[in-house]
């Protein structure tokens, strides 16, 4: 395609005609599959491997209306939409996020991510070079887990009808580790977090609002399959895993407390938070535990497995700052605000307080 | 409540204050308060566990009988709850929560005016985020925005300049919903100065700036209170200096200590107040000398005086009208005053409100549209605590606030709801 002629996305790119197929062939297919695509097919040369190699390495036709896939016995299926503003942030961009987000939703269910769908809604006038960057991020992030984009769609909307670019991804994963569920969580379980919390929320927010810090905060955006697989394949009896996204650690713990009707006690000085994120929160009056993460997993494990889990996490590149942050107790404290289980933070001076969900429109469009 | 866009280097300006020690420094390990260039280090210096427990035990040993201290400012209330300082000092210090949350005390009719203005054609209404949810008689600014009105959230008054200079807005009036105590008024004044200097002609102000001392005097004049002393907001005195509280000891015989917002600052303030009370020598003291000068920021005061004058009275949610408690633009700047420019448009609203309030006056007024069981009036005067209210946590919660103190994140009820210490 003539680069100078089409520096920006035009409405005709979404018209379904020649420009559309040029866009898909030249930017999306090439960016996503590179040498792995040929004659409309992609071949499994990502690091599929493992017990399901026949499935993850299969040849996929990209030009039909739907991808026809051989599937494993038990699959996990999820979807997520991404509207982050700014589109490029320190530590990632909307493309990386769109892969990691869906990969993580599958991973926390014990499912090895296999296939993704990739839907784009692009605003007229969006820079082609930016689109290339985003597609490259998608390809790069997908290759980390060995997940393949098996189908996709591109739409262009008139200027002003979207904010640059929105992405939707759905994912199919093969359930390798069964029975991970919030309902497994019982009194006595140990809560472990895989790394510093609040990085993504603080990074995106500071970039968007033009708040410059001495050290620019980097998003934790990452695909978590490898670290979760390391724990689950290490013989650990894990009750539940959740990736902390919107609402951060506080939202995960509150969802668990509510669904399993338990009280969860966390030690404030055990929760890993980086210095710059603490500073950012001081400045703006946020709690780091309520800020979004995009590459952190929270585990509920039986006490006898806690130290081993921590060891596995810390020896993984994504888990260096992992820590045991609390324990699960039976739901004891009921008050008139609510009658279900709750999250109790033991503060730095030893006084307990509730750690609630964030409320209001604190952080719109962080993912 | 104001989120100013901090830029690189400004942290250093803040951090150089850290080198100014104050009267309690000798209690701490030497060297703890030396200047730091890292923002976080500066803040963590005033949070250290060892220092906090030492201060708490000193207070504990010096207080003989429970002391009632009103922290005027919502920011203090939040720090106290967040760190559980009231639990650390349980049975010794009874914290009463004062009226120092500008969003909480904003009466319904001012919100109604803002909504009425937002409804006018070719108006962009700009407000701070925490004003957006405050309920008026019918709806809130956030609901107006959902209806399609052009209501924008700003982080700093100077964002208004950007909106005003945007070519798309050249035929629109940008109305800034200016709110806040003495801390934020200088920023509004700076905005007006900038608007005038640049010859910008499409910016108006709906002024809701209020003053800290008048409600304190109203509470003390009512006689019916338990207060032994006050913790006064440090950021207000950064602007005004310490003199605005002189009446508290001289006229009413109560302790007054100006304090910062970190746990260490608050406990230092409590200790100084405790000693004043124990020794029966009420005075105004500054426990926040790294930021507060006795005379305050004279430049900011001059700027405020240039553009603003005191209103005869202003209505406070939960209090009714308090004389000389609010500010308005001086007459020579009335072309920038939304209340003046839109006076005909707001007339109907005023008539409706007056009808409702006929026959009521002074502190007895329960401002319009407030639930009869709501205890916000009592809470703002320090007579009740949030959990004394029958609505608290049930009918009244942050998602559906009934009363003023739940509306703003800084309100006492919102703090109790959020932190629930035990």
Any CB–CB contact under 8 A between B419 and chain A?
yes
Final residue of a structural domain among A143, A175, A207: A175
Q: How confident is the model at residue A362 (pLDDT cuts 50, 70, 90)?
A: low
Residue B322 domain-assigned (yes or no)? yes
Given this model, what pLDDT does residue A356 score? 87
Mean pLDDT, chain B, whole residue set: 84
Rounded average pLDDT over B314-341: 94
Instruction: Nearest by CB to A282, from B3, B43, B56: name it.
Output: B43
Residue B307 domain-assigned (yes or no)? yes
Query: pLDDT tens-digit profile of A10-41?
Result: 888 888 888 888 888 888 888 888 766 666 67
Looking at residue A244, the DSSP 8-state letter turns out to be -
DSSP string, B98-159: EEE-TTTT--HHHHHHHHHHHHSTTEEEEEEGGGTT---SS--HHHHHHTT--EEEESSTTH
Rounded average pLDDT over A244-250: 94
Q: How confident is the model at residue A56 (pLDDT cuts 50, 70, 90)?
A: low
Given this model, what pLDDT does residue A70 score? 84
Whether residue B327 is predicted with pLDDT greater than 80 in this model: the reply is yes
The answer to whether the Cβ–Cβ distance between B394 and A284 falls below 8 Å is no
- Same domain? For A223 and A74 the reply is no
Query: pLDDT tens-digit profile of A160-209?
Result: 999 999 999 999 999 999 989 999 999 999 999 999 999 999 999 888 87
Whether residue A63 is predicted with pLDDT greater than 90 in this model: the reply is no
Q: How confident is the model at residue B3 (pLDDT cuts 50, 70, 90)?
A: very low
Q: What six digits make up the tokens of B45?
A: 């210096």
Give 3-state DSSP helix, strand, coil % of chain B, rounded to 5.
Answer: 45, 15, 40
User: How far is the alpha carbon of A103 from chain B, nearest alpha carbon, in Å?
Assistant: 33
Chain A residues lying within 8 Å of B267, measured CB to CB: none
User: How far is the alpha carbon of B35 from chain A, nearest alpha carbon, in Å?
Assistant: 16
Residue A199 domain-assigned (yes or no)? yes
Residue B63 domain-assigned (yes or no)? no
Domains contained in chain B, number: 2
Residue A279 domain-assigned (yes or no)? yes
Instruction: Give yes or no for a contact between A208 and A142, defined as CB atoms under 8 angstroms apart.
Output: no
Domains contained in chain A, number: 2
Whether residue B244 is predicted with pLDDT greater than 90 in this model: the reply is yes
Given this model, what pLDDT does residue B265 score? 94
Q: What is the CATH number of the domain that holds A143?
A: 3.30.1330.10
Mutate to test the interface with A, among B82, B84, B235, B267 (most CBs of A within 10 A): B84
> Comparing C-alpha atoms, which of B134, B128, B87 is closest to residue B115?
B134
- Same domain? For B324 and B408 the reply is no
- Same domain? For B328 and B385 the reply is no
Give 3-state DSSP helix, strand, coil % of chain A, rounded to 5.
Answer: 35, 25, 40
Q: Which domain holds residue B396?
A: 370-419
Give the position of tokens 């001012």.
Answer: B110
Closest residue in B to A277 (Cα–Cα):
B40
Instruction: Nearest by CB to A214, from B39, B43, B417: name it.
Output: B39
- Same domain? For A346 and A198 the reply is yes
Query: pLDDT tens-digit profile of A333-345?
Result: 666 566 678 999 9
Chain B residues lying within 8 Å of A351, measured CB to CB: 83-84, 87-88, 421
pLDDT-above-70 percentage for chain B: 85
Residue B301 domain-assigned (yes or no)? yes
Residue A69 domain-assigned (yes or no)? yes
Given this model, what pLDDT does residue A279 score? 84
Closest residue in A to B264 (Cα–Cα):
A349
Given this model, what pLDDT does residue B225 score? 83
- Same domain? For A192 and A316 the reply is yes
- Same domain? For B169 and B112 the reply is yes
Residue B35 domain-assigned (yes or no)? no
- Same domain? For B321 and B388 the reply is no
- Same domain? For B149 and B178 the reply is yes
Any CB–CB contact under 8 A between B11 and chain A?
yes
The answer to whether the Cβ–Cβ distance between B88 and A276 falls below 8 Å is no
- Same domain? For B200 and B307 the reply is yes
* Chain A positions with Cβ closer than 8 Å to B: 209-214, 275-276, 278-279, 282-285, 333, 335-337, 347-354, 356, 359-360
Whether residue B377 is predicted with pLDDT greater than 90 in this model: the reply is no
Instruction: Nearest by CB to A359, from B52, B82, B399: name it.
Output: B399
Chain B residues lying within 8 Å of A356, measured CB to CB: 418
Residue B141 domain-assigned (yes or no)? yes
User: How far is the alpha carbon of B344 from chain A, nearest alpha carbon, in Å?
Assistant: 35
- Same domain? For A201 and A320 the reply is yes
C-alpha radius of gyration, chain B, whole number: 22
Given this model, what pLDDT does residue A281 score? 87
Closest residue in B to A268 (Cα–Cα):
B83
Q: How confident is the model at residue B8 (pLDDT cuts 50, 70, 90)?
A: very low
Closest residue in B to A351 (Cα–Cα):
B84
More confident residue, B7 or B284: B284
Q: What is the CATH number of the domain that holds B152?
A: 3.40.50.11740
Closest residue in A to B49 (Cα–Cα):
A349
- Same domain? For A77 and A131 the reply is yes
Give the position of tokens 């549209």.
Answer: B369
The answer to whether the Cβ–Cβ distance between B420 and A349 falls below 8 Å is no
- Same domain? For B323 and B415 the reply is no
Given this model, what pLDDT does residue A54 score? 62
- Same domain? For A96 and A242 the reply is no
Query: pLDDT tens-digit profile of B56-79?
Result: 999 999 999 999 999 999 999 999
Closest residue in A to B398 (Cα–Cα):
A359
Rounded average pLDDT over B387-412: 86
User: How far is the alpha carbon of A219 from chain B, nearest alpha carbon, in Å?
Assistant: 19
Final residue of a structural domain among B334, B357, B380: B357
The answer to whether the Cβ–Cβ distance between A283 and B421 falls below 8 Å is no
Given this model, what pLDDT does residue A347 score? 92
- Quote the CA–CA distance of B80 and B94 in Å, as a whole number: 11
The answer to whether the Cβ–Cβ distance between B40 and A212 falls below 8 Å is no
- Same domain? For B350 and B389 the reply is no
Given this model, what pLDDT does residue B133 score? 80
User: How far is the alpha carbon of B254 from chain A, nearest alpha carbon, in Å?
Assistant: 30
- Same domain? For A259 and A170 the reply is no
Chain A residues lying within 8 Å of B39, measured CB to CB: 213-214, 279, 282-283
- Same domain? For A217 and A288 the reply is yes
- Same domain? For B119 and B187 the reply is yes
> Comparing C-alpha atoms, which of A144, A84, A72, A152 is closest to residue A116?
A152
The answer to whether the Cβ–Cβ distance between B38 and A275 falls below 8 Å is yes
- Same domain? For B398 and B347 the reply is no
pLDDT-above-70 percentage for chain A: 87
Q: How confident is the model at residue B356 (pLDDT cuts 50, 70, 90)?
A: low
Q: Which domain holds residue A134?
A: 11-175
Rounded average pLDDT over B175-203: 95
ipTM of the complex: 0.75
The answer to whether the Cβ–Cβ distance between A353 and B5 falls below 8 Å is no
Final residue of a structural domain among B357, B383, B406: B357
The answer to whether the Cβ–Cβ distance between A214 and B11 falls below 8 Å is yes
The answer to whether the Cβ–Cβ distance between A349 and B398 falls below 8 Å is no
The answer to whether the Cβ–Cβ distance between B88 and A351 falls below 8 Å is yes
pLDDT-above-90 percentage for chain B: 59
Query: pLDDT tens-digit profile of B91-137?
Result: 999 999 999 888 888 888 899 999 999 999 999 999 988 788 888 88
Instruction: Give yes or no for a contact between B231 and B101, defined as CB atoms under 8 angstroms apart.
Output: no
- Same domain? For A64 and A90 the reply is yes
User: How far is the alpha carbon of B217 from chain A, nearest alpha carbon, in Å?
Assistant: 30
Q: What is the CATH number of the domain that holds A190?
A: 3.90.650.10
Query: pLDDT tens-digit profile of B21-68?
Result: 233 333 333 333 333 335 566 667 788 898 999 999 999 999 999 999
Residue A6 domain-assigned (yes or no)? no
- Same domain? For B198 and B312 the reply is yes
- Quote the CA–CA distance of A333 and A341 in Å, as a whole number: 8
Using DSSP, state whether B186 is helix, strand or coil: helix
The answer to whether the Cβ–Cβ distance between B420 and A337 falls below 8 Å is yes
Residue B388 domain-assigned (yes or no)? yes
Query: pLDDT tens-digit profile of B298-311?
Result: 999 999 999 999 99
Instruction: Nearest by CB to A336, from B11, B133, B393: name it.
Output: B393
Any CB–CB contact under 8 A between B26 and chain A?
no
Closest residue in B to A336 (Cα–Cα):
B393
Chain A residues lying within 8 Å of B155, measured CB to CB: 209
Chain B residues lying within 8 Å of A209, measured CB to CB: 3, 5, 155
Residue B74 domain-assigned (yes or no)? no
- Same domain? For A136 and A57 the reply is yes
- Same domain? For A19 and A149 the reply is yes
Rounded average pLDDT over B225-244: 94
Final residue of a structural domain among A107, A140, A175: A175
- Same domain? For A67 and A20 the reply is yes
- Same domain? For B306 and B403 the reply is no
């Amino acid at each position: 395609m003539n680069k100078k002629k089409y520096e920006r996305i035009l409405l005709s790119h979404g018209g379904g005609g020649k420009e559309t197929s040029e866009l898909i062939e030249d930017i999306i297919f090439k960016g996503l599959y590179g040498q792995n695509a040929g004659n409309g097919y992609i071949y499994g040369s990502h690091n599929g491997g493992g017990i399901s190699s026949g499935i993850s390495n299969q040849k996929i036709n990209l030009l039909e209306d739907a991808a026809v896939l051989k599937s494993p016995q038990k699959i996990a299926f999820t979807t997520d939409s991404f509207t982050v503003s700014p589109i490029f942030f320190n530590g990632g961009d909307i493309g990386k996020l769109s892969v990691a987000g869906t990969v993580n939703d599958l991973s926390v269910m014990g499912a090895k991510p296999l296939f993704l769908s990739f839907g784009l809604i692009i605003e007229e006038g969006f820079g082609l070079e930016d689109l290339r960057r985003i597609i490259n991020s998608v390809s790069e992030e997908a290759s980390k887990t060995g997940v393949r984009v098996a189908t996709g769609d591109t739409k262009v909307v008139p200027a002003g009808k979207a904010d640059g670019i929105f992405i939707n991804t759905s994912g199919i994963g093969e359930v390798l580790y069964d029975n991970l569920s919030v309902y497994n969580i019982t009194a006595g379980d140990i809560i472990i977090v895989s790394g510093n919390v609040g990085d993504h929320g603080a990074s995106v927010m500071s970039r968007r609002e033009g708040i410059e810090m001495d050290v620019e905060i980097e998003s934790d955006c990452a695909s978590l399959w490898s670290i979760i697989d390391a724990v689950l394949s290490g013989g650990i009896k894990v009750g539940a895993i959740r990736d902390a996204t919107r609402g951060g650690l506080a939202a995960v713990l509150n969802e668990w407390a509510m669904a399993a009707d338990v009280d969860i006690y966390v030690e404030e000085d055990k929760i890993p938070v980086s210095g710059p994120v603490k500073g950012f929160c001081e400045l703006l009056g946020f709690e780091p535990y309520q800020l979004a993460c995009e590459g952190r997993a929270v585990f509920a494990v039986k006490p006898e497995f806690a130290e081993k889990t921590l060891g596995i996490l810390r020896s993984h590149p994504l888990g260096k700052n992992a820590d045991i942050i609390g324990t699960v107790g039976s739901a004891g404290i009921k008050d008139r605000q609510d009658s279900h289980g709750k999250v109790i933070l033991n503060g730095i001076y030893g006084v307990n307080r509730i750690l609630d969900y964030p409320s209001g429109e604190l952080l719109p469009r962080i993912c | 409540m104001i989120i100013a866009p901090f830029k690189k280097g400004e942290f250093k300006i803040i951090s150089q204050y850290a080198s100014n020690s104050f009267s309690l420094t000798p209690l701490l390990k030497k060297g703890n308060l030396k200047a730091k260039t890292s923002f976080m280090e500066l803040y963590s210096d005033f949070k250290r566990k060892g220092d906090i427990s030492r201060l708490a035990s000193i207070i504990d040993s010096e207080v003989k009988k429970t002391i009632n201290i009103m922290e005027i400012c919502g920011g203090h209330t939040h720090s106290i709850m967040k760190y559980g300082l009231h639990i650390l000092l349980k049975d010794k210090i009874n914290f009463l929560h004062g009226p120092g949350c500008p969003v909480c005390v904003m009466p319904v009719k001012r919100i109604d005016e803002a909504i009425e203005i937002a409804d006018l054609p070719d108006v962009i209404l700009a407000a701070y985020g925490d004003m957006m949810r405050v309920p008026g008689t019918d709806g809130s600014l956030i609901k107006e925005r959902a209806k399609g009105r052009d209501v924008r959230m700003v982080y700093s008054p100077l964002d208004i300049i950007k909106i005003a200079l945007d070519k798309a807005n050249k035929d629109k009036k940008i109305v800034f919903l200016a709110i806040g105590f003495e801390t934020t008024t200088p920023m509004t004044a700076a905005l007006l100065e900038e608007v005038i200097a640049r010859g910008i002609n499409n910016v108006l102000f709906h002024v809701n700036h209020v003053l800290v001392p008048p409600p304190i005097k109203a509470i003390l004049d009512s006689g019916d209170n338990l207060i032994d002393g006050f913790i006064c907001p440090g950021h207000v005195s950064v602007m005004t200096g310490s003199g605005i509280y002189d009446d508290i000891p001289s006229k009413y015989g109560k302790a007054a200590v100006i304090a910062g917002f970190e746990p260490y600052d608050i406990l230092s303030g409590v200790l100084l107040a405790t000693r004043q009370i124990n020794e029966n020598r009420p005075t105004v003291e500054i426990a926040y000398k790294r930021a507060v000068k006795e005379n305050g920021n004279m430049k900011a005061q001059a700027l405020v005086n240039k553009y603003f004058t005191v209103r005869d009275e202003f209505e406070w949610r939960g209090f009714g009208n308090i004389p000389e408690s609010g500010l308005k633009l001086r007459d020579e700047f009335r072309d920038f005053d939304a209340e003046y420019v839109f006076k005909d448009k707001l007339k109907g609203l005023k008539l409706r409100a007056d009808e409702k309030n006929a026959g009521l006056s002074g502190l007895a007024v329960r401002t319009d549209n407030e639930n009869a069981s709501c205890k916000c009036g009592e809470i703002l005067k320090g007579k009740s605590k949030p959990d004394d209210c029958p609505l608290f946590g049930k009918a009244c919660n942050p998602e559906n606030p009934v009363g003023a103190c739940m509306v703003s994140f800084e309100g006492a009820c919102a703090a109790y709801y959020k932190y629930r210490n035990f």
